[in-house]
Amino acid sequence: MNKGEIIIDILNPDNIEAQGRILKDKGAKAIIARSGGYRHTVGNVNIPVINLKITTLDILYAIKTASKFKKDIVLVISDLEFFDYDEWKDMISARIMIERFCDKEDIEAIVKKYEEQKEGIAIVGGGIPCTYAKRLGIVHVPIGASNESIYEGVAYARELIDNLYEQNYKNEVLKTTLDGVHDAVVAINQEGKIILFNERAQELLNKRCGGLIDKKLLDVCPELDFMMEILKSNINRYDEIKKLKRITIAANTSILNVDGHIHGVLCSFMDITKLQSLEKEIRYELNKKGLVAKYRFQDIIANEPAMKQTVEKAIKIGLSDSTVLIYGESGTGKEMIAQSIHNISSRKDEPFVAVNCAALSESLLESELFGYEEGAFTGAKKGGKIGLFELAHGGTIFLDEVGEMPLSLQGRLLRVLQEREVLRVGGDYILNVDIRVIAATNLNLYERVKEGKFREDLYFRLNILDLRLPALRERKEDIPLLLRNFIREMNAKHDTKIKDIEESGMELLKEYNWPGNIRQLENFTEKMCILSNAPIINESLIEQLLGNGLYQKKAPKAEKEKQGDTITLDIGNLKDIELQIIKEASKVFKGDKILLAEKLGMSRTTLWKRLKEIEDMEQ
């Protein structure tokens, strides 16, 4: 249709519902209709339908024309028309009966009602009533429209078309802009119905826009439920990290506020899944050393029933993603178990980061775990430093000797476990981390809680799944297997040719207590392999190597007591008595810290700290 062209179409009551759609298909930008035609066209087409109103003067003119037939007049008009008969009845000589209709079926029934009286009546109405009257042979007079009404209707239609063109133009520009931006954009109204869903949102959420507009957000996109929370709280939220079904997004969500009235919520978001993946790759490349777990459960030698049960339990734990607390003496293989748990878990392809909480000072441990920003403290590296929690993102962090962690850092660790959030030293923004925590200790943590040295809430948070590793003295049947495995490793390491150990020598090694557990056994095996002059390690060499105080043959009770079960102390406060015991016991054991730690029932780390205190006091 050319601009300004007007199509005139005669209303067909038998096809009235489709007639508007036919006009639209012909190119009509707007439809002008009256009475029943207007009522039945509205809602059937998605272009404007303008009601050309029937005026009182139009009706009076039609009644005047019908009066010439000297019949009673039946005025058939829709409930949309206003006509006050009482106001004009004194000026109308004919008898008037007014019939109002709501839909097409009413019109036909009204006209048919007067079929038997057709000789005495005339129908006055719009196009549809007159069409039915004509079919029944009833005199009829159509209500015409004045030239002025028609002109006003056409002028209004043109103005409306121009306004709609401009609005459609603006909408198309907005749609093209929104579809062209990198961010996904979704908007809802106050009822929670979707009013905007751009192409990027369709792509990220794998949705089809055609089925979403005017639908309830929670019905079709339940993953965006946080938009409804904003609608309830009326609080804007920016730079939020949200995990959806397939992707992770960074979202900005704000209220649609127009002149102080809330009309809904708009959310723009972007997919940061690839960004997070790239970040992990960068972290990994920059910090390859120490981020790989090399041990697996098949590397663990376990023939003793107690150890076999421990491994079976560890495998079940590894298949979950919960926090784990491993108990065991030093050298029992806690990190080996931790690495094996990581390598059987869903995080096996991600980093494994290990840190010894007892080996670092409080300030150093804090900066290592949490990282720091540039200028956070004197000596801080330019550009800052990524913390171990960040390096472990997506994988597992192993906190060895967690019982030695200072109380001041335990609260920060608890927050990481609860919220999976990290704040760098000197930082002012939160970093989200996705990690599994495996902790280990050789201490009785519950006793530490009662002593006030370990937070109770942290203890329960760590102790979701617990695993206790037996000491080597509790699994002596595994000693020969471990020894032969270590011999193979030492032969490869030092190019030695050791084949085995004499049976009598093996019995000596099984009788020994091994306070340093597997680590001590491994070191001792290396020493034997290097110093042995024969492919079979003999009992004599073993006795000689164990004779430095680490090994004692069975001795009478009196001789044992002579070796230091009794020492003399000066009475003082508990701290002084503890240091006296350590100092005097150290003399008895001639500086042998392994035996001394075992005898005193404390970890070697704690013993080292106490000996350092004694040394500082004596200087």
Q: What percent of the chain has pLDDT over 70?
A: 79
Residue 81 pLDDT more than 50?
Answer: yes
CA pair distance 423, 425, nearest whole angstrom:
7
Q: How confident is the model at residue 2 (pLDDT cuts 50, 70, 90)?
A: very low
Distance CA(102)–CA(86), nearest Å, equals 22
With 60 as the cut, is the pLDDT of residue 178 above it? no
Mean pLDDT (whole number) for 375-382: 67
Token pair of 565, please?
A: 């079960």
| Percent of the chain residues topping a pLDDT of 90 | 33
**Of 359, 358, 347, residue with least CA distance to 293:** 347
Characterise 178 by phi-psi region: left (phi > 0), alpha (psi -120 to 50), beta (else).
Answer: alpha
Assigned CATH class of 472-546:
mainly alpha
Task: Give strand pairing partners of 97.
Answer: 74
Who wins on pLDDT, 326 or 35? 326
Q: What are the C-alpha distances in Å from 459 to residues 300, 321, 410, 454, 508?
A: 28, 18, 10, 7, 40
CB proximity list for 147: less than 8 A, separation 6 or greater:
none
Enter the pTM of the model. Answer: 0.49
Tokens of 106: 């009413």
Is the distance from CB of 380 to CB of 374 less than 8 angstroms? yes
Query: Which residue type is seen at 458?
Result: L
User: Which residues are CB-neighbours of 108 under 8 A, at least 6 positions away?
Assistant: 13, 132
Segment 206-230, tens digit of pLDDT: 887 567 888 899 998 899 999 999 9
Burial 282-317 (b: 16+ CB within 10 A, else e): ebbeeeeeebebebebeebbbebeebeebbeebeeb
pLDDT at 51 over 80: no
For the chain, give the mean pLDDT.
81
To which residue do tokens 């058939």 refer?
Answer: 76
Mean pLDDT confidence for 413-424: 90
What token pair was written down for 258? 């127009």
State the CB neighbour count (10 A cutoff) for residue 460: 10
3-state class (DSSP) for residue 266: strand
CA angle centred on 600, ends 597 and 606, rounded to 5°: 55
Question: What's the CATH fold of domain 557-618?
Answer: Arc Repressor Mutant, subunit A (1.10.10)
**579 C-beta neighbours (distance < 10 Å), count:** 16
- What residue ranges do the domains of the chain occupy? 56-145, 181-258, 278-468, 472-546, 557-618
- Cα 570 to Cα 287, 478, 576, 581, 607, distances in angstroms: 52, 45, 9, 10, 20
Lowest mean pLDDT among 59-68, 342-351, 449-458: 59-68
Compare 526 and 101 and report the one with higher pLDDT.
526
Q: What is the pLDDT of residue 156?
A: 72
Contact 354, 400 (CB under 8 A): yes
| Residues 10-30 pLDDT 10s | 666 666 666 667 676 776 777
Q: Is the pLDDT of residue 66 over 70?
A: yes
Q: Which of 76-90, 398-412, 427-441 has the lowest mean pLDDT?
A: 76-90
User: Any idea of the CA torsion for 200, 202, 206, 211, to the nearest 10 degrees?
Assistant: 180
Q: How many helices (H) and strands (E) are present in the chain, helices listed first?
A: 26, 22
Q: Is 187 helix (H, G, I), strand (E, B) or coil?
A: strand
Matching residue, tokens 């002149």:
259
For position 525, what pLDDT does the model report? Answer: 94
Burial of 264 (0-12, 13-18, 19+ CB in 10 A): buried
Taking a C-beta distance cutoff of 8 angstroms, is the pair 192, 224 a contact? no
Token pair 């004045």 in the structure block, residue: 146
Evaluate the CA torsion angle 507, 510, 515, 517 in order and state its sign: positive
Residue with the two structure tokens 């995990």:
243
The confidence score (pLDDT) of residue 550 equals: 46
> Residues 6 or more apart from 433 whose CB is under 8 A from it?
389, 390, 392, 393, 416, 420, 421, 422
Fold of the 56-145 domain = Rossmann fold (3.40.50)
Of 147-156, 176-185, 388-397, the range with the highest mean pLDDT is 388-397
For residue 398, give every residue at least 6 positions away whose Cβ sits within 8 Å of its Cβ, in sequence order, or none. Answer: 335, 338, 339, 342, 352, 353, 354, 355, 438, 439, 440
pLDDT tens-digit readout, 341-368: 999 999 998 999 999 988 888 888 888 8
Lowest model confidence (mean pLDDT) among 288-302, 338-352, 407-421, 602-616: 602-616
- 331 versus 31: the higher-pLDDT residue is 331
Question: Structure tokens of 412?
Answer: 């920060």
- Please give the CATH number for the structural domain made up of 181-258: 3.30.450.20
Question: What is the total residue count of the chain?
Answer: 619
- What's residue 257's pLDDT? 85
Average pLDDT over residues 527-538: 93
Contacts of 462 (CB under 8 A, 6+ apart): 323, 325, 402, 417, 437, 439, 445
State mean pLDDT over 248-269.
Answer: 87
Query: Do the first three CATH levels of 472-546 and 557-618 match, i.e. the same topology?
Result: no
**What pLDDT is recorded for position 570?**
63
Residue 170 has pLDDT above 70, yes or no: no
pLDDT of residue 168: 60
Report the Cα 559 to chain-centroid distance in Å: 66
For 442, half-sphere exposure in the C-beta direction (CA atoms, 13 angstrom radius) is: 24
Q: For residue 556, what pLDDT band results from cuts at 50, 70 and 90?
A: very low
CA dihedral 59, 62, 68, 70 (to 10 degrees): -50
Q: How far apart are CA 368 and CA 389, in angstroms?
A: 9
Phi/psi of residue 32, nearest 5 degrees = -105, 120
CA 51, CA 468: separation in Å to the nearest integer? 85
* pLDDT at res. 166: 63
* Dihedral sign, Cα of residue 77, residue 83, residue 85, residue 91: negative
Higher-confidence residue: 575 or 246?
A: 246
More confident residue, 4 or 284: 4
**Architecture label for domain 278-468:** 3-Layer(aba) Sandwich (3.40)
For residues 69 and 48, the answer to whether their CB atoms sit within 8 Å is no
Least confident interval from 36-45, 80-89, 399-408, 606-615:
36-45
The secondary structure of residue 349, as a DSSP letter, is: T
Residues 605, 358: contact at Cβ < 8 Å? yes
